[in-house]
Structure 1
Amino acid sequence: MSASKNDLPEYSLYINPRDLRQLRSDIWNNEHVPAKLRVSKSSYNIQIAYRGALTRELVKKSYHVIFSKPSFFMGAREIHLNAEYLDPSLLRNKLALDFFVSLGILSPESKYVLLRINGAIMGVYLQLESVDDLFLKKRGLPAGAIFYAHNDDANYSLLSPDNDDVKESLLSGYMRKFGDAQDDQYLFQLIYKINTVPRSEFAKEIVKHVHIEKYLRWLAGVVCTQNYDGFIQNYALYRNSATGLFEIIPWDYDGTWGRNCHGNIMENSDVPIQGYNTLTARILDVPQFRNFYRGLLEKVLESLFTVDFLKPIITSLYKMLRPYILLDPYKQKDMVIFDSEPEFIIRFIAERNSYLREHLSDLE
């Protein structure tokens, strides 16, 4: 039978039983173990480890893969294989990341694969592009520092959101992925300025540090998809060395489109139209920025965040995945809810769109 364009590529991982036992002995260990990956007729020596936070405790694990020989795979030196276990649709992360692209925001590429480990089917995974120097190079962008917001201290504030205590460092919550120690000062200055510049000077000062239009486009994406966590983590910051401005890149958007990161149903009003975090509040406090955001959001609600635009995409992804979900040992028992999720997401889009339209006046 000839391959269809909708066929998922099959990734076969081979891990020595000794190394597999080591991997499984401590789910919180970030040390990689050696393995081999076979894709089509090509074989790669890799290093593999678990990835994620709460997802490590789930039965279907997510993985971080580093390529060692050859050292590149499809132009990347590392990839992420996400189980998407808590999302009953397996659609939300990809749907959201692609939605950000339609908004003109830098966003990781993603694709579905069927994963085997030592011959056993592990199920459908979402392969995510790593946000690093190769991410920039692929898009023809200038090299620049990249920081991952890996916990909720990345809220652009002087205070921790967990206990309102003063942070030990303004860089708390961030991990530098690319760049050097000197680049940390750019992020330090950004957080410092956000929290100390007087209201009368903020508009003039913040444009020296942040690409405001791209930030507001990102904000529109987070607000539409309703990622509750996306304001204080689940993003990367890229400082464009040509402009000197920070841009924001989304990451891990499985808790969206009407469900949170635990897979629980959210109310359509759980995230306000203004969003959250200190930087967002200060930017929207500036009339010209707030007016731009309102106009942008109006256009998005008319053209991109609509059932007409998104339903064909959702339906296509669902039809592509369904035959493979039947093979997924962790998801095949949940076919009833999987089959109902496209309509759930479509209904969320309609209701969230209406909610946001009703609250556009909050931005006056």
Structure 2
Amino acid sequence: MDETANLPQYKLFIKPVDLKELKRDIWIDEPIPAQLRIDGKRLEIDVSYRGSHIRDFAKKSYQITFYKPKKFMGSRQIHLNAEYKDPSMIRNKLSFDFFSDIGVLAPQSRHVFLTLNGKDEGVYLEIESVDENFIRRRNLPAGSILYAVDGDANFSLMSDINKETKKSLKLGYEIKCKDSKSAEYQLQELIYKINTIPPTEFEREIPKYVNVNQYLRWVAGIIFTSNYDGFVHNYALYRNGQTGLFEVIPWDYDATWGRDVNGKLMEADYVPIKGFNTLTARLLDVDTFRRQYRTLLEEIMSNQFTQEYMMPRVEKLLEMIRPFILDDPYKRDHIDKFDGELKVISDYIQERRNYLFRKLSKLE
């Protein structure tokens, strides 16, 4: 690779014995020691594979935890995503940037080029970890962050996995950081209130627990990007310690903008305009919130979710990483497909806009 190129070069070094241990069982989360060199800086790290089904892919994704020093550029941990099933390799970043543009908290991300023990591993997306440093970096009040780790994070009393009553309202979540000992109680109280506040009191009571405007913006983000799993998975909860209100942060948005989790083309009407999960359904059942949601959709469709706004961003990202795709051993043989993604995303935006315009009347 050209060392003067404009994509950051990440050089990962793992001792052969440790690399053998890492590869021995891809499902083990136990990290191994390694070294990472970025811009001439030598960093001692712990590294493990990340993700669930993506671990089976030829190109692995990694979780990096800084060991010495404990932080690098303000982060204790970062994620290196292979974006293996996304032919464009930009959908995750495009989505996070889009969420930020419409006023939703979202991780920062950037493309990098990774080598492992001197061998090219290719283009990766570095994603900011959603943890206490995520909060600190944005000068937000201290608070708790809970990851939605499976389909039980559906804001319901019923499991999305086995369709039975949940044995615990903590199911589906993993605490990433907390500002008090009561973080688990606050989560359970949220789920309980969502499901038990009477309809006549819901409009008045739910804003005591949820930042409704931010939640509806997050729903809008899912609707525009078409993340099918977004409502019951692929997110983190942030409880603002100052206001006591929960906000939602998107996570894992590669299956978006017209392609599904397997990289296959997805119909533009696949994700319904009203979405799905218990909290969304209850909010949209309230006239005031439903009108607020419709206004949000119309506002974003006039400003950010347009070809005029999005396509220059898409084109810039694709142009930036294309030279490096040619050096990616997992992607270079599919450059024709990569080059076709500009049209795939453009067509998706137009078709999705057409679908949403037709369905806006459902929100009257």
Amino acid at match of 2:18: D
Which residue number corresponds to residue 309 of structure 1? 309
1:265 Cα offset (Å):
1.3
Alignment of 1:212-223 (within 5 A): 212-223=212-223
> Structure 1 residues 35, 2: closer, same or farther in 2, change over 3 A?
closer
Residues of 1 paired with 2:145 and 2:213: CA distance?
Answer: 19
- 1:301 touches 1:357 (CA, 8 Å); kept in 2? no
1:119 aligns with 2:93: no
Alignment of 1:118-157 (within 5 A): 118-157=117-156
1:92 aligns with 2:84: no
Residues of 2 paired with 1:279 and 1:196: CA distance?
Answer: 11
Residues of 1 paired with 2:52 and 2:237: CA distance?
Answer: 20
1:181 Cα offset (Å):
4.2
Which residue number corresponds to residue 260 of structure 1? 260
Number of aligned residue pairs:
362
The one-character-per-residue Cα deviations of 1:81-139 (angstroms, maximum 9, x if unpaired) are 00000101001000000000001110000000000000000000000000111111110
Which residue number corresponds to residue 323 of structure 2? 323
Residues of 2 paired with 1:67 and 1:2: CA distance?
Answer: 24
Which residue number corresponds to residue 81 of structure 1? 80
The one-character-per-residue Cα deviations of 1:146-203 (angstroms, maximum 9, x if unpaired) are 0000111100011112331111211110000001542111110000011111111111
- 1:19 touches 1:33 (CA, 8 Å); kept in 2? yes
The one-character-per-residue Cα deviations of 1:259-310 (angstroms, maximum 9, x if unpaired) are 1111111111111111110000001111100000001100111111010000
Residues of 1 paired with 2:35 and 2:275: CA distance?
Answer: 43
Which residue number corresponds to residue 357 of structure 1? 357
Secondary structure in 1 matching 2:208: coil
1:239 aligns with 2:239: yes
Which residue number corresponds to residue 284 of structure 2? 284
Residues of 1 paired with 2:311 and 2:43: CA distance?
Answer: 38
- 1:33 touches 1:47 (CA, 8 Å); kept in 2? yes
Amino acid at match of 1:124: V
Amino acid at match of 2:247: E
1:342 Cα offset (Å):
1.1
TM-score (normalised: structure 2): 0.98
- 1:111 touches 1:127 (CA, 8 Å); kept in 2? yes
Which residue number corresponds to residue 55 of structure 1? 54
Secondary structure in 1 matching 2:320: helix
- 1:148 touches 1:235 (CA, 8 Å); kept in 2? yes
- 2:235 touches 2:250 (CA, 8 Å); kept in 1? yes
> Structure 1 residues 2, 332: closer, same or farther in 2, change over 3 A?
closer
Which residue number corresponds to residue 190 of structure 1? 190
Residues of 2 paired with 1:31 and 1:356: CA distance?
Answer: 44
Note the residue ranges of structure 1 that are not aligned, 5 or more in a row.
none
RMSD: 1.0
> Structure 1 residues 136, 265: closer, same or farther in 2, change over 3 A?
same
TM-score (normalised: structure 1): 0.98
Runs of 4+ aligned residues of structure 1 deviating over 2 Å after TM superposition are 1-4
